[in-house]
Structure 1
């Protein structure tokens, strides 16, 4: 069975489980930039979104981070293109890229299904977009697109928050060039999407609104980086809870596991190669200098695909990373090692200031648990308040489904100020 078939089989099984479970301010100023970065400066850039709402302003306005540039009402249809009654809007707002240059990012904001008894908290839900094509972004999934299979799987989870009276903001955290895996970019866009949501008058929020962040796997890239960057980047946001599951903290460790584990390689090679390509869009020195002809061809075939699929009809890439580079040991290439500290957590001098719940499967075959353990240890040493749960209720994909209620319970306890709800085997620090 090929990668796509295996992937779809796994996603179908998990989606069934998900359906069962789902039923049971002050703003920092942005870096000034008078011109938009040219698309052709981004290696293997995706096709621009055909919808002009997504276009980068040129020249870029010199405005504070999180400032809304434009908005529009949309129909909220996150699962199977079925419309829901929640009022929803798309926002374009100011954020910045990994080099500090201003960009225009997109987020979708959704009002609660029913009004709560008190002020509505705000949940920032970061999808595991895991894709290189612009049409795979959350803003498309939330308005009826079914192109992103992972997003379809995850869409039931934040509905529980909406039903509880929470407002939700869903950032397109990969940015305008779908830089899948670029953590700093994703974290900054996530924080700026929260700023934008808090200031968007139709939502009725304020600078004092309680905020929670939640993401798993690719969504945890954005969530964990946002939590790490908050103190320096957006300290004014009242983030009271973070839930980060299956967190891809150690990027090189994940890539090494891909090369060394036959089962992981067979299932996930196109997905991880897509992540390398996505990170390379923000950090072109990561692998651009060492790609061989096969590597360049693979990047071209993946550049507009969703979740590791090719977009040109070619077969999904397979094999080992060295097959696609000019060096036999790409993970130890000087340019890769030099870039590694920029794309890996923990980030020196940065750790969460909000209460944080980290959860990870002991038997995660895609993202080795050692990376999460090391991340939690570093965050605890830095003084962060972290609750860590390590369980065996599924491998990487199934664990997301079985632990979603734990994340909801944790966020709820922080929003309500009640005792923290975590599994009995959870360890805590500080």
Structure 2
């Protein structure tokens, strides 16, 4: 473990995690520790969750200096008062992240004029970086490689996508393919870029996987970093990107990943949907991959039901992400259904990462953004939305994993209804899949993300060891 000398850190970084970003909590007990083994520097998810909950209980008054661009003081204070998830330090962290310098050579992400013929074929690679904090003070000891590969989108078009391979010094040869949760729509939101900046909230899970001796493949998805709009929540795009990243990782020069290295595919939230899609598609799309198991948390398996739950909520930005993705995938002009305000909101969201977008568009009344005054929930019940969204649903007949899969979902999830994840599990069981279902006993979407990590780690280890999964199908 390499640890840089401790500096005086901004309060935003040392006190709390960001909403959807845990870099601050990772630093809270680590920077002052000095050069100690990585396992002692990375807090357990339970510790992170406990500190997060303690911080939520001590709300504070904000000042203008605490806020990211585009958020006024009154709105920010109202956001904290009304939300069970956001703290004052979340906003301070967002402001700190917003001011990070841009020093990266982005030519690596440019798609070449010609793409390889085969799915999952490696295009290029370069040395990468993984920091656990936005001040780049803590750099886990791992070999990091960013790579570009060929994949295929839902329109059967060849696309370039990127991912990151992280290998521990004394790895077990087992590989975790990590599908990340919602990152945002702007190219700078790509996980490979956020790993280098120390702002990737999946960092805590990656660090703990490395600690367990696993190699990690972290996927960027189509349109994050590379050309075009990110096709957020597109089932085929995400599933293909995950499986093709696993294929390409075995081609990375100098890596310890082999074609027969056992794979576990995992993810939460958007990542849960991407992991679930990859698990459903694996037998047909990538039958040669040695996938032994998977885990999918808080899966947005039924997008219309998720949309109804978050329309006008703290997470209104996620609907804008989905509208932008659909327009990209289907070649639809948003001006056909959005008014000037709606088009402006869509453009704004397309240029933001998740944390800034959530703050900027929280509690938006979507009926004020449409030409005919319908809410997004009402609008998507009709074409061209209805059939597109139906195609994105998971757990449909004929689609189910052929490997043991853990589903984590919290009954008190405030973003993705618990029944959505449970219904997907039931559908998989009906198709003959081996499903372990865990009702995470932690409230809120973010809280349940942290709460699900220990159980996911146990399940992953058991499946890699060839043990039998717990069967939950009898109660779903």
State the match for 1:304 in structure 2. 351
Distance 1:122 1:237 in 2: 12
Q: In structure 2, which of residues 306, 320, 326 is the aligned counterpart of residue 273 of structure 1?
A: 320
State the match for 2:117 in structure 1. 63
Unmatched runs of 5 consecutive residues or more in structure 1 = 1-6, 25-48, 260-264
The change in CA–CA distance for 1:92 and 1:331 in structure 2 (over 3 A counts) is same
What secondary structure, in the 3-state scheme, does the structure 2 residue paired with 1:143 have?
A: helix
The change in CA–CA distance for 1:11 and 1:210 in structure 2 (over 3 A counts) is closer
Q: In structure 2, which of residues 404, 426, 434 is the aligned counterpart of residue 355 of structure 1?
A: 404
Q: In structure 1, which of residues 120, 138, 142 is the aligned counterpart of residue 195 of structure 2?
A: 142
Unmatched runs of 5 consecutive residues or more in structure 2 = 1-15, 29-41, 48-103
Q: In structure 1, which of residues 158, 161, 182 is the aligned counterpart of residue 209 of structure 2?
A: 161
Q: 1:187-266 maps to which residues of 2 (within 5 A)?
A: 187-259=239-311, 265-266=312-313
Distance 2:291 2:19 in 1: 34
**How far apart are 1:365 and its partner, in Å?**
1.0
The change in CA–CA distance for 1:162 and 1:20 in structure 2 (over 3 A counts) is closer
Moved more, 276-285 or 338-347: 276-285
State the match for 1:182 in structure 2. 234
State the match for 1:125 in structure 2. 178
Moved more, 195-204 or 368-377: 195-204
Question: CA contact under 8 A between 2:294 and 2:405: conserved in structure 1?
Answer: yes
| Root-mean-square deviation over aligned CA pairs | 2.8
**How far apart are 1:198 and its partner, in Å?**
1.9
Question: CA contact under 8 A between 2:186 and 2:352: conserved in structure 1?
Answer: yes
Distance 1:347 1:286 in 2: 29
Is 1:370 equivalent to 2:422 in the alignment? no
State the match for 1:346 in structure 2. 395
Question: CA contact under 8 A between 1:130 and 1:275: conserved in structure 2?
Answer: no
The change in CA–CA distance for 1:357 and 1:14 in structure 2 (over 3 A counts) is farther
Moved more, 92-101 or 125-134: 125-134
Give the TM-score normalised by structure 2: 0.74
Distance 1:141 1:375 in 2: 31
Distance 1:128 1:182 in 2: 13
State the match for 1:283 in structure 2. 330
Give the TM-score normalised by structure 1: 0.81
Distance 2:105 2:396 in 1: 36
The change in CA–CA distance for 1:187 and 1:79 in structure 2 (over 3 A counts) is farther
The change in CA–CA distance for 1:15 and 1:393 in structure 2 (over 3 A counts) is farther
Moved more, 277-286 or 132-141: 277-286
**How far apart are 1:427 and its partner, in Å?**
1.8
**How far apart are 1:191 and its partner, in Å?**
0.3
What secondary structure, in the 3-state scheme, does the structure 1 residue paired with 2:384 have?
A: helix
Q: Highest CA radius of gyration, 1 or 2?
A: 2
Q: In structure 2, which of residues 191, 211, 218 is the aligned counterpart of residue 170 of structure 1?
A: 218
**How far apart are 1:398 and its partner, in Å?**
0.3
Q: In structure 2, which of residues 158, 162, 183 is the aligned counterpart of residue 102 of structure 1?
A: 158
Q: In structure 2, which of residues 101, 106, 124 is the aligned counterpart of residue 51 of structure 1?
A: 106
The change in CA–CA distance for 1:23 and 1:321 in structure 2 (over 3 A counts) is closer
**How far apart are 1:220 and its partner, in Å?**
1.0
Question: CA contact under 8 A between 1:129 and 1:136: conserved in structure 2?
Answer: no
Q: Count how many residue pairs are aligned between Structure 1 and Structure 2.
A: 380
The change in CA–CA distance for 1:357 and 1:288 in structure 2 (over 3 A counts) is farther
State the match for 2:64 in structure 1. none
The change in CA–CA distance for 1:210 and 1:12 in structure 2 (over 3 A counts) is closer
What secondary structure, in the 3-state scheme, does the structure 2 residue paired with 1:319 have?
A: coil
The change in CA–CA distance for 1:92 and 1:13 in structure 2 (over 3 A counts) is closer
**How far apart are 1:12 and its partner, in Å?**
7.3
**How far apart are 1:109 and its partner, in Å?**
0.4
What secondary structure, in the 3-state scheme, does the structure 1 residue paired with 2:164 have?
A: strand
**How far apart are 1:128 and its partner, in Å?**
1.1
Q: In structure 2, which of residues 371, 376, 386 is the aligned counterpart of residue 326 of structure 1?
A: 371
**How far apart are 1:159 and its partner, in Å?**
1.5
Q: In structure 1, which of residues 71, 77, 87 is the aligned counterpart of residue 131 of structure 2?
A: 77
Question: CA contact under 8 A between 1:129 and 1:138: conserved in structure 2?
Answer: no
Question: CA contact under 8 A between 1:130 and 1:180: conserved in structure 2?
Answer: no
Distance 1:251 1:288 in 2: 22
The change in CA–CA distance for 1:165 and 1:310 in structure 2 (over 3 A counts) is closer
Distance 1:106 1:387 in 2: 31
**How far apart are 1:50 and its partner, in Å?**
6.6
The change in CA–CA distance for 1:338 and 1:16 in structure 2 (over 3 A counts) is same
Question: CA contact under 8 A between 2:22 and 2:204: conserved in structure 1?
Answer: no
Distance 2:324 2:356 in 1: 13
Q: Spell out, residue by residue over 1:301-353, the C-alpha distance to the aligned partner (whole angstroms, 9 max, x if none).
A: 11110006359xx9536433222222423122221112122222124422111
The change in CA–CA distance for 1:389 and 1:23 in structure 2 (over 3 A counts) is closer
